[in-house]
Amino acid sequence: MEYKQLVFGDDGSPGADLAWLWINCHQWPRWQIEILTAVPPLDFRVRDSPPVPHLWAPPHPRRVFSDTGFEAFSALCVEEDPRLALALHADMLVIGARGESLLKALHIGSTAEWLVVHPPCPLILARHGRVTRNVVVCHDGSAHAGAAVDALCAAPWLEGTRVMLLTVEHGRHRIEVDGSSCLNRLEAQGAHVRCVSVAGDVTDEIAKYVQQNDADLVVLGTRGLTGLKRVGMGSTARALVHSIEQNILIASAPEQ
């Protein structure tokens, strides 16, 4: 049987502790987990090949709760820039927000913001350890939003959650979004889905809605900007990271 892979990026911070708690508050049958610790190298010399993560015994090992249901567990370490070490292809990547202040923790160049702007795979930025019961899925009809819904549907703990499928009308042009496909996929996984439409600034309206409806998790797609666009252009995902306190699941569709 082929298992799905969850990678937890562990930097030993309080934010990572919360992310670890969030992982352990859910059940993961038919999933395996890797805890990956990236140690920035002392020098940045050009290497003939990228470093390979190796098994290690951390000084303060993480303990997996007995009822999570993981099929396999391993702790890995690699000497590499964390932004590069975590730019891998997994079924889900979970990281925490480092430090007490989100605005201080997430800045251009930080591992979290780097991954949020261009997630290499479905990414969860966890800021609390609560069980996921209420989910807001932001849907704009794009392939990236569809990829985020696919990532949520793959979560083995989705059954029984309440999901609000949210669309935001903005500007002078009405956005026609057919959410029936997403609704059907979510309901097929046992979620209780309700469709909601609001109007206004996208970031402001999403932030307002998730606060008013006590969301545990916000799900959205991102275009995955690179290069100069990545530095100079904002994105809804990046803006929300700075404006809400909920956990966020971000994904992008494969490049065509």
CA dihedral 243, 36, 88, 24 (to 10 degrees): -60
Which of 71, 91, 126 marks a domain boundary?
126
Residue burial 215-225, b: 16+ Cβ < 10 Å; e: rest: bbbbbbbbbbb
**What confidence score (pLDDT) does residue 111 get?**
82
Q: Give me the domain span that covers residue 15.
A: 4-126
Cβ proximity of 62 and 35 under 8 Å: yes
- CATH number of the domain encompassing residue 84: 3.40.50.620
234 part of a folded domain: yes
Shared-domain flag, residues 145 and 247: yes
Shared-domain flag, residues 96 and 190: no
Shared-domain flag, residues 213 and 121: no
**What confidence score (pLDDT) does residue 191 get?**
98
Shared-domain flag, residues 165 and 118: no
Q: Give residue-wise pLDDT tens across range 79-117.
A: 998 888 998 889 999 999 864 434 344 444 478 878 887
Q: Give residue-wise pLDDT tens across range 120-148.
A: 999 999 999 999 999 999 988 888 999 99
Shared-domain flag, residues 73 and 111: yes
Shared-domain flag, residues 102 and 32: yes
**What confidence score (pLDDT) does residue 198 get?**
92
Shared-domain flag, residues 181 and 211: yes
The domain tally of the chain equals 2
3-state secondary structure 83-99: HHHCCCCCCEEEEECCC
Q: Give SS3 for 10.
A: coil
93 part of a folded domain: yes
Strand ranges (DSSP E) for the chain? Answer: 4-9, 31-39, 54-55, 72-79, 92-96, 123-126, 134-138, 162-169, 192-199, 217-221, 247-251
Shared-domain flag, residues 122 and 169: no
Cβ atoms within 10 Å of 30's Cβ, excluding its own: 12
Q: Give residue-wise pLDDT tens across range 230-253.
A: 333 347 888 888 889 999 999 999
256 part of a folded domain: no
